[in-house]
Amino acid sequence: MIVLMGIKHSGKTSLGKLLANTLDVPFMDLDALLEEKYSKDRRLNFRDLYLKLGESGFRNLETAAIQNTIMSNRGILALGGGTIDNQEAMRIVKEASLLVFLDVDEKILYERIKKNGFPPFLEKSPEKLFHELFSRRRFLYSEIADIKLEITNETPEGLLNILINRIEDSK
């Protein structure tokens, strides 16, 4: 399994769908899996699930979803932006997957998040808190990644070609 990881709005889902289509394998988005599988009464988005369950409960669901997905599928999995903070989940994916870190410039990501609305944990001081989060998570992603894909101005198709070559080189 190939697992794409990166900070929120780094392009995991977009690139993941292109890669899955090219390799003719299934694509799965962890946030969507959590929303689909663990919303009992009404469809809750992953932020609602997090608020309802708290961090510990959410991380337990995240770990279970990753375990089930890794064990039963071959394909492409896009992790949630915060999955890197779930040590057990990351242990599971590291053991069974090729980990690709989509490394996007901090300013670009900040503008994308700003445009789409800040999550509650960034609302008090968004620029400062995002910088701290970006720096910490970028370090963690870099440490665990098998492939680090630095994203600048490439088209999605250009990125796809670069990634496929990097995957082939890693075999």
Average pLDDT, the chain: 87
pLDDT at 3 over 90: yes
Class assignment of domain 2-170? alpha beta
Residue 139: is it exposed, middle or buried by C-beta count within 10 angstroms (0-12/13-18/19+)? Answer: exposed
pLDDT in tens, 17-66: 999 999 999 999 998 888 777 766 566 676 777 777 777 888 888 898 89
**48 or 68, greater pLDDT:** 68
CA 99 to CA 168: how far, in whole Å?
A: 13
Identity of the highest mean pLDDT range in 40-54, 56-70, 124-138, 140-154 = 140-154
pLDDT band at 14 (very low <50, low <70, confident <90, very high): very high
Across 65-79, average pLDDT: 87
Instruction: Name the residue among 44, 169, 22, 45 with its Cα closest to residue 98.
Output: 169
pLDDT value for 46: 66
pLDDT value for 39: 62
Across 158-163, average pLDDT: 94
Q: For the chain, what is the HEC assignment?
A: CEEEECCCCCCHHHHHHHHHHHHCCCEEEHHHHHHHHHCCCCCCCHHHHHHHHHHHHHHHHHHHHHHHHHHHCCCEEECCCCHHHCHHHHHHHHHHCEEEEEEECHHHHHHHHHHHCCCHHHCCCHHHHHHHHHHHHHHHHHHHCCEEEEECCCCHHHHHHHHHHHHHHHC
Across 152-171, average pLDDT: 91
Q: Is the pTM of this model over 0.95?
A: no
Could you tell me the residue ranges of all domains in the chain?
A: 2-170
**74 or 164, greater pLDDT:** 164
pLDDT value for 10: 92
